[in-house]
Amino acid sequence: MTEAGNDLVAVPERVRTGSPNPITSLDAWREAWIAAKDDPDAFWLREAKARLHWRREPSEGLRGGFHEIADGPIAFFADGELNVSESCLDQHLAPRGDKVAILWEADEPGEGRSLTYRALHQEVCRAAGALRSLGVQKGERVIIYMGMVPEAAIAMLACARLGAVHSVVFGGFSAEALRDRVRDCGAEVVITQDEGLRGGRTIPLKATCDEALLGEQGVRHVLCFQRTGAHVGWTAGRDVWWHEAMSEATPVEDAVVCAAEDPLFILYTSGSTGRPKGLCHTQAGYLTWTSWTHQTVFDLREDDVYACVADVGWITGHSYIVYGPLCNGATTLMFESTPSYPDAGRYWELCARHGVTIFYTAPTAIRALAAQGDAFVQAHDRSRLRVLGTVGEPINPEAWQWYFDVVGEGRCTIVDTWWQTETGGICITPIAPATPTRPGWATLPNPGIVPALMDEHGRPIVGPGEGRLCLSQPWPGMARTVWGDHERYVATYFATFPGYYFTGDGCRRDGAGYHLVTGRVDDVLNVAGHRIGTAEFEAVIVTVEAIAEAGVVGFPHPVKGQGVYAYVVLQPGAEPGPDLQALVNNVCRAQIGAHAKVDLLQIVPGLPKTRSGKVMRRILRKVAEGQPEALGDVSTLADPSVVEAIVAGAKSL
Ligand code: WT7
């Protein structure tokens, strides 16, 4: 029983019956969890050997730990050798070569194509050949800046086949953001497409790429996939068409052998300070973790049609569209469009047409669709759905219930999966056939995950309580370092609570050991599942000429989860003009990307600062949350009158 006593939701009958899952009961979960905690070496070595195709089997499990993390990254299966693309492709050719690997649903309903494991293998080998002919070698970095086309996954796997390190940059990022990432990882090749297509609109990916690369000497080649056929700018000698390179390529049948801890990819994400950091994931541990979690949490069965509607530009797309599902030999859907194109029934229409059995999306989409009414859902056959997943931010119980009742008609179980770019894969979650669910709660830690909640003195809370969420033991899927800056990795994640990985989230635990992740406790915003640091916003906003200072915080937003509230101080004598917010948003779009938008902007005479000059963000947050009565102690402020002006001029949606 949980603390509320009566809000547990039993696993529906059809989710429990016929499951091939090793974990179909709470007892089995507990047994596995304890085994992985007490002897992670044995537990993960067994899984790694069973799931991955090895060139040289590993003999050791975990090397290193959190107390020695400053000396160097931890390692899993360090003496093993493999190529990740062989685990995702070659190992399936004999048992399921004709099974659909990637089911591509293009922007227009019903358009798209499917690739069998055999076809995907051929395309990846060719693409690897094309990259090799452009000079890409093991260990070199390749940026992938594309939309949701199968070629994005093919490009990732082609890099993996060569042992090259890919870094996918979400197609919504601006030229500035793309340039930063190209520079930070030292990419020599960029793969893009002429245009992206989303909701009937085109996205000028090649043009943005050209802008980003203006004057960048380091990039030798741009490989451009043709999606729409639009006319694009062309730099002779540098730019190469994907289809031409593919037709001339010599397929790389013989994959490049990598060490288990060689880097597989870099993915940039926002933190509370400074520029985005490139989290570095490695080969075998990452693949073992994504394969194990994908199969177990979603209760994957051989005939499942699995659809994760995230973007490959985020970690969800890496782990649960590409690597986990393909390692498991699943049929994985790639979706190019939006939940509302041509109408709010698109998800359910595609579920009906493809016979989707497992569906994975984000709370922000669920809330947006729930607001459109049930008819859009009911118009389509959802009888094949069995497991419904959610990820990216806390899900409010109302949205959870709508997903359960209306989308799933009470026949499907909901897996609310908590994890992060840094964790590589799902950490706290129900296991579909085993775990009774609870609206709003991510429930139990996966085997390998040992959560600790820290109190305000930095001590672990025993039993029920609320605190900062840490993880106490290394697990195979964790990011090993920040690209080129191990010190920053250590300072960001291991300095706050020595000996623990600090997630940046707050978390509540009940008497049954169920977890509810309440959201970030650091200065990171989660806007519609997109992670952006307040410091990133502030740095960009002050580049607007009229603005001297900016303080950015989040506030509860009915659809996006968090909205962005900017307090700005004008330059002396500056005339803001009527459209300062539009101006600010143009700059945010240009410097960060289309997903970075200020929802509320307030001009203030000053930011609330302590006498030592530190901005008291707590005050900004409380006002943005509409709770000016709960400001608490403001006696340490240098100028308390600022607060009155802030409260008097507060904005709301
Ligand atoms: C942050 C990580 C994991 C892939 C997508 C986001 C929040 C994520 C949940 C959940 C409550 C969640 C956390 C986390 N978050 N899933 N089920 N319940 N919060 O990856 O961009 O690295 O963001 O998203 O705050 O720290 P990300």
Q: Is the CB of 311 under 6 A from ligand 1?
A: no
C-alpha–C-alpha distance, residues 461 and 253, integer Å: 53
For the chain, the domain total comes to 2
Taking only the tens place, the pLDDT of each residue in 432-478 is: 999 999 999 999 999 999 999 999 999 999 999 999 999 999 999 99
Q: Does the N-terminal peptide bond of residue 342 adopt cis geometry, omega within 30 degrees of 0? A: yes
Cα Rg of the chain (Å, integer):
24
Which of 391, 311, 307 shows the shortest CA–CA distance to 353? 307
C-alpha–C-alpha distance, residues 22 and 7, integer Å: 26
Per-residue pLDDT averaged across 353-365, rounded? 98
Q: What band does 295 get if pLDDT is binned at 50, 70 and 90?
A: very high
Q: What band does 634 get if pLDDT is binned at 50, 70 and 90?
A: confident
Strand partners, 416: 390
- Which element (helix H / strand E) includes 365? helix 363-370
C-alpha–C-alpha distance, residues 30 and 71, integer Å: 33
- Ligand 1 center to residue 393 CA distance, Å? 5
pLDDT of 640 reads: 87
The reply to whether 580 falls in a domain is: yes
Which of 261, 193, 253 shows the shortest CA–CA distance to 228? 193
Paired tokens of 371: 């607001």
Best of 269, 312, 322, 391 for a ligand 1 pocket test (most atoms within 8 Å of beta carbon) = 391
- Nearest-CA residue for atom 1 of ligand 1: 420
Taking only the tens place, the pLDDT of each residue in 76-92 is: 999 999 999 999 999 99
The count of residues in the chain is 653
pLDDT of 53 reads: 98
CA angle, corner 249, sides to 248 and 250, nearest 5? 125
C-alpha–C-alpha distance, residues 556 and 442, integer Å: 20
C-alpha–C-alpha distance, residues 289 and 287, integer Å: 5
- Ligand 1 center to residue 235 CA distance, Å? 39
C-alpha–C-alpha distance, residues 53 and 57, integer Å: 9
- Nearest-CA residue for atom 15 of ligand 1: 393
Three state DSSP letters for 150-213: HHHHHHHHHHHHHCCEEEECCCCECHHHHHHHHHHHCCCEEEEECCEEECCEEECHHHHHHHHH
The reply to whether 299 falls in a domain is: no
Best of 418, 449, 468 for a ligand 1 pocket test (most atoms within 8 Å of beta carbon) = 418
C-alpha–C-alpha distance, residues 210 and 222, integer Å: 9
Taking only the tens place, the pLDDT of each residue in 117-150 is: 999 999 999 999 999 999 999 999 999 999 999 9
The reply to whether 594 falls in a domain is: yes
What is the identity of the amino acid at 190?
V
The reply to whether 349 falls in a domain is: no
pLDDT of 274 reads: 78
Three state DSSP letters for 445-513: ECCCCCEEEECCCCCECCCCEEEEEEECCCCCCCCCEECCCHHHHHHHHCCCCCCCEEEEEEEEECCCC
CATH number, domain of 637, equals 3.30.300.30
Neighbours of 113 (CB within 10 A): 12
Which of 429, 421, 157 shows the shortest CA–CA distance to 293? 429
Report the side by side order of strands in the sheet with 258-259: 54-56, 81-82, 258-259
Phi/psi for 453 (5° steps) reads -100, 125
- Ligand 1 center to residue 576 CA distance, Å? 36
Among 231, 259, 287, where does a domain finish? Answer: 259
C-alpha–C-alpha distance, residues 135 and 565, integer Å: 46
C-alpha–C-alpha distance, residues 332 and 345, integer Å: 20
Three state DSSP letters for 625-641: CCCHHHCCCCCCECCCH
pLDDT of 477 reads: 98
The reply to whether 643 falls in a domain is: yes
- Ligand 1 center to residue 560 CA distance, Å? 13
Mention every residue, 6+ apart, whose C-beta is less than 8 A from residue 414: 9, 388, 389, 390, 400, 403, 404, 408, 430, 437
Mention every residue, 6+ apart, whose C-beta is less than 8 A from residue 313: 168, 169, 170, 171, 172, 173
Strand partners, 387: 358, 413
Taking only the tens place, the pLDDT of each residue in 562-573 is: 999 999 999 999
Paired tokens of 99: 């099974």
Cβ–Cβ < 8 Å for 143, 190 = yes
- Beta strands 600-603 and 413-416 are unpaired
C-alpha–C-alpha distance, residues 625 and 563, integer Å: 10
C-alpha–C-alpha distance, residues 563 and 498, integer Å: 32
Neighbours of 600 (CB within 10 A): 17
Q: What band does 2 get if pLDDT is binned at 50, 70 and 90?
A: very low
Among 208, 228, 259, where does a domain finish? Answer: 259
Taking only the tens place, the pLDDT of each residue in 216-252 is: 999 999 999 999 999 999 999 999 999 999 999 999 9
Q: Is the CB of 389 under 6 A from ligand 1?
A: no
The reply to whether 481 falls in a domain is: no
Strand partners, 241: 224
Per-residue pLDDT averaged across 399-415, rounded? 98
Taking only the tens place, the pLDDT of each residue in 181-214 is: 999 999 999 999 999 999 999 999 999 999 999 9
C-alpha–C-alpha distance, residues 10 and 315, integer Å: 30
Cβ–Cβ < 8 Å for 11, 434 = yes
Q: Does the N-terminal peptide bond of residue 451 adopt cis geometry, omega within 30 degrees of 0? A: no
pLDDT of 6 reads: 62
- Ligand 1 center to residue 356 CA distance, Å? 24
Q: Is the CB of 363 under 6 A from ligand 1?
A: no
- Beta strands 465-471 and 451-454 are antiparallel
Paired tokens of 71: 């000396």
Checking if the pLDDT of 303 tops 50, the result is: yes
**Nearest atom, ligand 1, residue 531 CA:** 21
Q: Is the CB of 531 under 6 A from ligand 1?
A: yes
pLDDT of 5 reads: 53
**Nearest atom, ligand 1, residue 421 CA:** 22
The reply to whether 225 falls in a domain is: yes
Q: Which residues of 503-538 are buried (b: 16+ CB within 10 A; e: fewer)?
A: bbbbbbbbebebbbbebbbbbbbbbbbbbbbbbbbb
Say what the pTM is: 0.96
Among 242, 259, 276, where does a domain finish? Answer: 259
Across 6-59, where does the E strand assignment appear? 54-56
The reply to whether 574 falls in a domain is: yes
Checking if the pLDDT of 1 tops 50, the result is: no
Neighbours of 572 (CB within 10 A): 6
Q: Is the CB of 442 under 6 A from ligand 1?
A: yes
Which of 325, 324, 354, 142 shows the shortest CA–CA distance to 335? 354
Q: Which of 181-185, 506-510, 607-611 has the lowest mean pLDDT?
A: 607-611
Domain span at residue 249 reads 92-259
